[in-house]
Structure 1
Amino acid sequence: MSDTLKIASWNINSVRARIDIVTRFLEEERPDILCLQETKVVNDIFPGDPFRRMGYVHQVLNGQRMHHGVAILSKVPLDENLNHDWQDNGEARHVGVRLPNGVRLENVYVPAGGDIPDRVLNPKFGQKLDFIERMTRWSETLAEPTLMVGDFNIAPLECDVWSHKQLLDVVSHTPVEVEALTRLQQSHGWIDLGRHFHPAPARLYTWWSYRSKDWTANDRGRRLDHMWASPTVAAAATGHRVLEPCRSWLKPSDHVPLVTEFSF
């Protein structure tokens, strides 16, 4: 394994439907490791061959038909495949591995939480909060250098959304979700690499709704995707980018990729 490592994370919103833009991304960016969320495919029919042809021969999958699903595709060896059921219902929302340098890599897809920010009126919202609480309990016990990436489905800071005032009651930016995510971050001393390299209030959106015919016209973005690192792993990070132009590619995901480079 080289001294440098480039790791990407992307909610692809169906890997089979968007295999062309995934391979384009890999050709242009050439990360060593790609973490995907919302793959929407069972393991048996995951399109592994295009990735193998590009050198991503190490593939760790946790798939589910039509919904959810996560995958780690790598040019470097991966060990100790581990899946956590933080949703507590069998949904495929996490896959974790160990890298050759001993760092754990956790790829997670937090539930969106429905439309109503009330756990009584909307059980999905309660499931989302419980998911984050289970992650927090796990995080408190971590004793290893770890990088956690994925679609957290929460934009925590006021500058992480296009309008803090208008989104206070909208799921993904409500105070109760932000408080839950803050507790998770504090439970292990996680470093938010996005804001480490691009301090607030710098623009750093990662998601734009499909509902807008031209996402660039009103630019109503949110920062839902994140890369968090243990302090020792964060110290090895040399750069972090959000690839906003990918949102304009043919048949795009509503999310864009994140890329962080490390020098261990």
Structure 2
Amino acid sequence: MKIVTWNINGIRTFRNGIKKALDSLDADIICVQETKVTRDLLDERTAIVDGYNSYFSYSRGRSGYSGVATYCKDQATPFAAEEGLTGLLTSHDGAVRCYGDHTEFSNEELQLLDNEGRAVITQHKINCEGEARFVTVINVYCPRADPEKPERKQFKLQFYKLLQCRAEAILKSGSHVIVLGDVNTSHKPIDHCDPNEIDDFEENPGRKWLNGFLHIDQDNHETNEEKVEEEHEAQVNHSGARKFVDMFRFFHPTRTNAFTCWSTMTGARQTNYGTRIDYIFADCQLAKEHFVGADIMPEVEGSDHCPVWGHLSCSLIPSLKPPAFCTQYLPEFTGKQQKLSRFLVKMDQKVPQSNIFESLPGSQEEEERRENLIPSGRGEKRPAESVLPKAKKTKTAKPQGNLLAFFKPKTVNVSSIESTDKECKNNLNQGEMNSTQNPSVNPRATDTAAPSCESKEDRKTVKVDSSTSQTLTHASDSKKGSVFWKSVLKGPPPAPSCKVHGEPCVLRTVKKEGPNVGKQFFVCARPQGHSSNPEARCNFFAWVEKGK
């Protein structure tokens, strides 16, 4: 049995499809965090994957935020599954149950803790040396303690407490438990790229919680099994509760620079300047008796996190039918409820209007497409008058013109121009005859009237001169406008070179709220790294002076 956890930083970022990503991990149970998808945005291609059954939890308050999902291969189909840690989101059969003591939480706190889509629980049956047992997998995306929002620190600690309460309650029921996912806290200094830069590293509340949740400090792998066994026996004899083991440190207690998360803003993955905040925790008996390996996969890209895997010696016993919480039972994927996107599919214009409203098999896309092209299996067209009732008459709609037609220059009728020219010439000739025949006619009147009947060539010259004048005017105005905007929008200042590498710096803007928010500064363009790494970013820093 192989299990994988991975914070994917958006499930819709898999351009080649989720199935290819799942297959590449080659695991029976794949738990992903930070899906950033809500139910209304979940498409069938992501939810229903051939060879897998899936279980999703979504954020109720914000779109594109949080969210976790568990994909199980068909041979690892769980016997029970549910969303959340509190039980408040569970109203169906086939739930895991065992919620523990919630007396320390108010009803409002419990609802808020499950409202962000941070947990999916699946329960599986495994064959361990001929004995069938249950193992419960708790897939979690723990909150981040935003330093600018003090209330989130308390929210994170409450989530940890609720997670431990639920995990230990399931353990007491007799099932093995695996807790895995993005815990958002690096445990020991060895799990952090630069712990010395953090004040009171060991005093962090999240690390203190991990110290209590993980029952031993694994310093030496050879003595791990003895410590696990002793601790397990002591806890079972006294409290009945069995705590948890960090499986990566169980197998790699002294490995350094083993990180699972890196900042994308600073390019820190290039220098491996990160933290280990993604874990697989297992109860100590399962860790001691059945885990045969665990490791991280930093070579797998596609997210700011990398996957973590664990391997157990026992085999899975699949359920014959997925539990009720399975995504494939959602109405929008069973044909019982059509999604809005279904009604926005572009229809064939040649299909008679009356045929569009015939019933379609909603859950079979190929059959639906075939029905849309050839309604009810008939290829003939109905007469147009059969679409509407005979008693009603409709006005013939006038064809609507193209909007672009209103912006085209009006076409001039050449024949009308020629007739106007002939009329002008006739009038001019008639005027000359009149002045010759009748000496009383004033020649000046004829001269002043003559320019109104100039030839086509003359008119073209006048128009060209006018157009040229306007063009010159517009060019002059455009040039003035360009000069004005250049004086207002000066663009970014030239980048200085950093002192250590002599390379052009990059421009950054302060986004953190405070007196410097919005101000710009230059820093070294290299990726962030430890101060001892010559290939990493140097400490060059320079504010952008106002007016430059």
Q: 1:210 aligns with which of 249, 264, 287?
A: 264
User: CA separation of 1:223/1:202 partners in 2, compared to 1, >3 Å: closer, same or farther?
Assistant: same
Residue of structure 1 in register with 2:138 after alignment: 106
Residue of structure 2 in register with 1:68 after alignment: 66
Deviates further, 226-235 or 190-199: 226-235
Residue of structure 2 in register with 1:255 after alignment: 305
- Describe the superposition over 1:188-241 as per-residue Cα deviations: whole angstroms up to 9, x where unpaired: 420110101111343321000111135213x21100100000123212111112
More helix by share: 2
SS of the residue corresponding to residue 244 of structure 1 reads coil
Amino acid at match of 2:260: T
Deviation of the 1:164 alpha carbon: 1.1
Q: 2:254 aligns with which of 200, 221, 228?
A: 200
Contact 2:57–2:84 at 8 Å: present in 1 too? no
In structure 1, the gaps of 5 or more residues are none
Residue of structure 2 in register with 1:239 after alignment: 293
Map 1:130-209 to 2 at 5 A.
130-141=158-169, 142-143=171-172, 144-168=175-199, 175-186=204-215, 188-209=242-263
1:228 maps onto 2:275 in alignment: no
User: CA separation of 1:21/1:50 partners in 2, compared to 1, >3 Å: closer, same or farther?
Assistant: closer
Give the number of the structure whose alpha-carbon radius of gyration is greater. 2
C-alpha RMSD of matched pairs (Å): 2.4
Amino acid at match of 2:261: W
- Describe the superposition over 1:48-84 as per-residue Cα deviations: whole angstroms up to 9, x where unpaired: 535755521x111112331111111011211221233
- Describe the superposition over 1:9-61 as per-residue Cα deviations: whole angstroms up to 9, x where unpaired: 111111012354854443333111110111111235434535755521x1111
User: CA separation of 1:176/1:78 partners in 2, compared to 1, >3 Å: closer, same or farther?
Assistant: same
Residue of structure 2 in register with 1:94 after alignment: 119
1:84 maps onto 2:90 in alignment: no
User: CA separation of 1:231/1:155 partners in 2, compared to 1, >3 Å: closer, same or farther?
Assistant: same
More strand by share: 1
Residue correspondences, number: 248
User: CA separation of 1:53/1:61 partners in 2, compared to 1, >3 Å: closer, same or farther?
Assistant: closer
Matches of 2:270 and 2:255, distance apart in 1: 19
Contact 1:139–1:188 at 8 Å: present in 2 too? no
Amino acid at match of 1:129: L
Deviates further, 84-93 or 152-161: 84-93
Contact 2:19–2:49 at 8 Å: present in 1 too? no
Contact 2:85–2:162 at 8 Å: present in 1 too? no
Amino acid at match of 1:91: E
Q: 2:54 aligns with which of 56, 59, 68?
A: 59
Matches of 2:121 and 2:249, distance apart in 1: 23
Matches of 1:110 and 1:225, distance apart in 2: 10
Query: TM-score scaled by structure 2?
Result: 0.42
Contact 2:8–2:35 at 8 Å: present in 1 too? yes
Matches of 1:233 and 1:23, distance apart in 2: 30
Matches of 1:51 and 1:82, distance apart in 2: 16
In structure 2, the gaps of 5 or more residues are 87-108, 127-133, 216-240, 315-548
> Using CA pairs below 8 Å that are at least 6 residues apart, which structure has the higher relative contact order?
1
1:13 maps onto 2:9 in alignment: yes
Contact 2:192–2:275 at 8 Å: present in 1 too? yes
Residue of structure 2 in register with 1:122 after alignment: 150
Matches of 1:199 and 1:209, distance apart in 2: 25
User: CA separation of 1:99/1:139 partners in 2, compared to 1, >3 Å: closer, same or farther?
Assistant: closer
Residue of structure 1 in register with 2:429 after alignment: none
Matches of 1:140 and 1:261, distance apart in 2: 22
